[in-house]
Amino acid sequence: MTITDAFLAARGRGVLPTALASRDARLAFAREVRRRAVFSARTTSLIYLSIMRDAVESLLMTEQHGVSIGQAEVRLRLKQALEALHYDPENGHFGTPQDSTVPPARPGSIQDLSSDRRLNLIIDTQRMLYQSAAQNARAKEPISLRLFPCWELRSGYARAPRADWQARWVKIGGTLYEGRMIAPVGDPIWSRLGNGQTFDDALDTETPPFAFGSTRRWRGVSRDECLRLGVPVSPAPEIAPEPAAEPPAPGPEPEQIAPAPVPENPVPAPVAPPTPAPVAPPAPEPVHELPTPKATIPEDANPTVVQTVSVTLKVSLGDDDTEEAYQKLRAERRERVRRLHEAEAKAA
Amino acid sequence: MLKIDLTFDLSAVRGVLDAALGATGPDRRAMHEYMAQFVGRLTTEDLEDEVGTKHKTANALGAEPTHFFAKAAGSVKASGTDDGVTMTMQRAGLSRAFFTYHLRPIRSRLLTIPIKKESYGKRAREFKDLKWRTFTKEDKAAGKTDTAGLVLGRPAEEKGGMFIALFAGTKKATVPQDRKILPSDEEWLKAAGIGLTAYLKAKLSNA
């Protein structure tokens, strides 16, 4: 499932104007209502919410349109909409009757709907919700589950991240493995981490971002790594000739708009680790003769449309220990790029 | 959107596959799916960790990076097909790994290149009341502006004040190819090799 699929699954949502703050909206509207509607705290304009929904769609629906727009373009569209609707954060907001209960917002603050902070929060939250819903659906496919049966919640790119994630994890019954927050794909602990009744800033979602403004994200943990750390995982599914059908598509939910619904957990209860797999045949020497990509692009090509590159690789077997081989590959890549950066800096 | 089709020449491993799997050979789609898992994982984690960028422009301007790569990471999808691995990324900017782009304005006469912390990562249209001006080096030396050349910025509020340039105006710009923003062909190949090994291990453990 791609993020476009995730968005398509969530299409058809209505919009829910509200003068309430996020926390109050959570109390006032049932989870199901919020899941089926686009809303944003203290946003009373039906028109603006509709434009917001469409702008986010444009950001995420690249596969449908073949054209890519970025975060700045979405932010611009929303700013233009707010201006056209005469939005004024300090004096009456949109001027709707419900706005009489909305307190004035300091320009540039997170309460100001037209501030970069607020708009970036909405866009980032939406993007992450749909990306992680798609990621979660793909992770439940048999081959993914066999290779990467667990998620680890890892730090994101936040400049000043929350310091209490491990405390939250322990509070909801999570186990730390060498200080890492790891649990099986589909484990109920993920929805507990995003439960708004437990944490004030939670988004009521079972996928990242679990809390407002969080940039934390999932990373798959390999079966070998889980066994090494002692994480209880279900047995590896049988290898099938064809991948199984995708699980039910996730629906949306909100901050700002909409965390995915909680699908049925397809992962069986944790059991004893499986017997280690047999050793693979000896690997031949890697092949390093690589062709140049076949694709070319004209000088006046539009960088926003779909570009396709085709590469043929002469494949060889990797090391027997797949996780060790993979981590070695990543380390080599980081070192190679570091040297390239250094060389560029010297040349400059 | 960037779409990368990886196809694999299996001649170097044909003997191993035959010995391990017998006459039926591999189930190509399943085998490619295993390869896709590792190719996709390498690409996603590489983008998440922003390995390919040093945020040079943001750092030079003293701005907070936009984290374009980390945000793009979540859009990577790699799938096995009958022919190989297809990997898609929704952010077209990543295609700079393969192509040099020559940009020209479409909706206006000039491209606007952010030159200040305040304008980094933003569109000129996000700002209100900006004006185009052309300044010489002498104007800059005289304190009329902080940047010489054709610029879009904020006029001084008081007479004699300084014009604050936020964007440079240009008729064309080149974004050079930078292959290191994504894993190299060889790195993808190694990741595919790891996936192939995982496939064989899985197949043999089921046998």
Considering only the beta carbons, identify the residue of B16, B190, B201 that sits closest to A286: B190
Is residue B205 within 8 A of residue B37, CB to CB? The reply is no
The length of chain A, given as a count of residues:
348
Distance CA A242, CA B60 (A): 50
- What is the distance between the alpha carbons of residues A272 and A122, in angstroms, rounded to a whole number? 42
CB nearest to B126's CB, from A2, A62, A79 = A79
Average pLDDT on A189-193 reads 96
Q: Which chain B residue lies closest to A221 (C-alpha atoms)?
A: B41
Q: What was the pLDDT predicted at B38?
A: 96
Check CB contact of B174 with chain A, cutoff 8 Å: no
Region A121-139: mean pLDDT is: 90
pLDDT of the residue at B15 = 80
CB A134 within 8 A of CB A3: yes
Average pLDDT score, chain A:
76
Token match 């909405």: residue? Answer: A122
**pLDDT per position as a tens digit, A329-343:** 999 999 999 999 999
CB proximity under 8 Å: A 147-166 to B:
147-148, 156-157, 159
* Statement: residue A266 has pLDDT above 70: no
- pLDDT for the residue numbered A283: 40
pLDDT band at A250 (very low <50, low <70, confident <90, very high): very low
Which residues of chain B does A158 touch, with a Cβ-Cβ cutoff of 8 Å? Answer: none
Which range (A10-24, A311-325, B23-37, B107-121) has the least confidence? A10-24
- Residue A17: pLDDT band (50, 70, 90) is low
Is pLDDT at A323 greater than 70 in this prediction?
Answer: yes
Q: Give the pLDDT confidence of A204-230 residue by residue, as tens digits.
A: 889 999 998 999 999 999 999 999 999
Nearest CA in chain A to B29: A242
* Residue B38 near chain A (CB below 8 Å): yes
Nearest CA distance, A34 vs chain B (angstrom): 24
Q: Which of B1, B75, B198 sits opposite A131 (nearest CB)?
A: B75
CB contact under 8 A, B13 and A131: no
pLDDT, position B2: 85
pLDDT of A82-96, one tens digit each?
Answer: 999 999 998 878 887
Mean of pLDDT values over A119-139:
90
What pLDDT, on a 0 to 100 scale, did the predictor assign at position A305?
Answer: 52
Give the one of B91, B95, B194 whose C-beta lies nearest to A325's C-beta: B194
Touching check for A295 and chain B: CB below 8 Å? yes
Q: Are B194 and A79 in contact (CB < 8 Å)?
A: no
Residue B8 confidence (pLDDT): 85
What is the pLDDT, as a whole number, of residue B170? 95
Identify the residue with better confidence: A5 or A280: A5
Interatomic CA distance for residues A175 and A202, integer angstroms: 20
pLDDT in tens, chain B (207 residues): 788 988 888 888 888 888 777 767 678 889 999 999 999 999 999 999 999 998 999 999 999 999 999 999 998 999 999 889 999 988 778 888 998 988 899 888 999 999 999 999 999 999 988 999 999 999 999 999 999 999 999 998 888 889 999 999 999 999 999 999 999 999 999 999 999 999 988 888 765
Torsion of CA A223, A229, A234, A236, to 10 degrees: 20
**Among the ranges given (A12-21, A27-36, A288-297, B26-35), the one the predictor scored with the smallest mean pLDDT:** A288-297
CA distance A151 to chain B (A): 13
Q: What is the pLDDT of residues A58-76, one digit of tens each?
A: 887 765 555 667 889 899 9
Contacts of A222 (CB under 8 A, 6+ apart): A147, A148, A322, A323, A326
User: CA-CA distance, B24 to B28, in Å (whole number)?
Assistant: 11
| ipTM score above 0.85 | yes
Interchain pair B45, A240: CB under 8 A: no
CA of B174: which chain A residue's CA is closest? A299
Question: Which residues in chain A have Cβ-Cβ distances shorter than 8 Å to B7?
Answer: 310-313
How many angstroms separate the CA atoms of B157 and A76, rounded? Answer: 25
* Subunit contact A326:B9, Cβ cutoff 8 A: no
Contacts of A71 in chain B (CB under 8 A): 66, 71, 121
| Distance in Å, alpha carbon of B14 to nearest chain A alpha carbon | 10
Q: Do B92 and A306 touch (CB under 8 A)?
A: yes
- Over residues A136-153, the pLDDT tens digits come to 999 999 999 999 999 999
Which range has the worst mean pLDDT, A113-117, A276-280, B65-69?
A: A276-280
- Identify which has the larger pLDDT, A237 or A322: A322
In this prediction, residue A280 carries a pLDDT of: 40
Task: List Cα–Cα distances, B67 to A145, A216, A340, B51, B142, in angstroms.
Answer: 29, 13, 20, 11, 37
Q: What is the pLDDT of residues A154-184, one digit of tens each?
A: 999 988 888 999 999 999 999 999 999 999 9
- CA pair distance A85, A83, nearest whole angstrom: 5
